[in-house]
Amino acid sequence: MQEHLSAEKQLWSEEAWQAAVPEYKRILSLPFISELSSGELPEDKFIYYLEQDSLYLQEYSRVMALLSSRFDDPDTSRLFMSLAMENLDSEKALHNFWLSASGQCGRPAPSASPVCLLCSSHLWRQAVAEPMEVALASVLPCFLVYGKVGQAILGMAEHSLESNPYRKWILTYGDASFDEQTGKLVNLCDDAASKALPVMRRRMTDAFVTGVRLERMFWNSAYEKQTWII
C-alpha cells in the first residue's frame, strides 16, 4: 500500500525521464556528442548540424505558437510562449554566431534532411492531432535533453573548455538560465499530467521518449551528414 502511494506521488517528469534514460545514454555515447565535448568534432559536421537545426527551429517555433493558443488560461498561454521564445532566441543567436563566423550566412538555405523532416513532421502531427497533454510532452525533449547534455559536458572534470572551439555551444546549453526556463516547461507538463488519467500519462511518456529518440537520430544524422538517397 505504501509503495502504491509513493508511486502516485511521483511527478510525471520523473517517470518520463526514467523511461528515457536508455535513450539519453545512447545520446551521450554518440560520436557527435563525444567529439563535440572533446573539441575534435569536424567543423563541417557541426555546420551541417547548425543548418539543419535552424530549419527545425523554424518549425518548432511555429508549433510552440500553435500550442500556446490551446491553453484555456491566458496567463499560462503567455508564460508558455514567453519561455519558448526566450530559449529559441538564444538558440538562433548561437546559430547566427557560428554561421557568420564560418561564412555560411547569406548562402542559399539548405534543404531539410530526411531526419530533420521526420522530426518536424512528427512535431506537427503531435501539435494538431494529439491531446494537449501529449503535445506538451512532445515539445519537452528539445529543451530537457539539450540542457542535460550541456550540463553533462560541463561536468566532465577531466575536460577543459578553454581550448574547445565549441565552448559557446556547450556553455549556452549548460547554463543555469537555460535550465531554469526548461524547468518552467517541465512544470507545465507536470501540471497537465497531474490532472490526467493514467492512460493519458502513459501516452505523454511515450511521446516524450519518442522525442528523445528523435533527438538522438538528429545528432547522428548530422554526424553522418545524411542526404536524400533518392
Domains parsed from the chain with CATH numbers: 42-224 (1.20.910.10)
pLDDT computed for residue 162 by the predictor: 83
State residue 83's pLDDT score: 77
pLDDT at res. 103 = 58
Whole-angstrom distance, CA of residue 146 vs CA of residue 215: 9
Contact 39, 166 (CB under 8 A): yes
Compute the distance between CA of residue 63 and CA of residue 134 in angstroms, rounded to an integer: 13
Answer with the residue of higher pLDDT: 172 or 13.
13
Q: Between 106 and 5, name the one with better pLDDT.
A: 106
Asked if the model's pLDDT at residue 95 lies above 50, the reply is yes
Average pLDDT over residues 64-83: 88
Provide the pLDDT for residue 4: 43
For residue 205, what pLDDT is reported? 98
Tally of CA atoms within 13 A in the half-sphere of 115 that contains its CB:
21
Q: Is the pLDDT of residue 6 over 70?
A: no
What's the predicted TM-score (pTM) here? Answer: 0.89
- Each residue's pLDDT tens digit, 168-184: 899 888 888 888 889 99
Instruction: Average the pLDDT over each of 52-61, 99-108, 123-132, 209-218 and give the range with the smallest value.
Output: 99-108
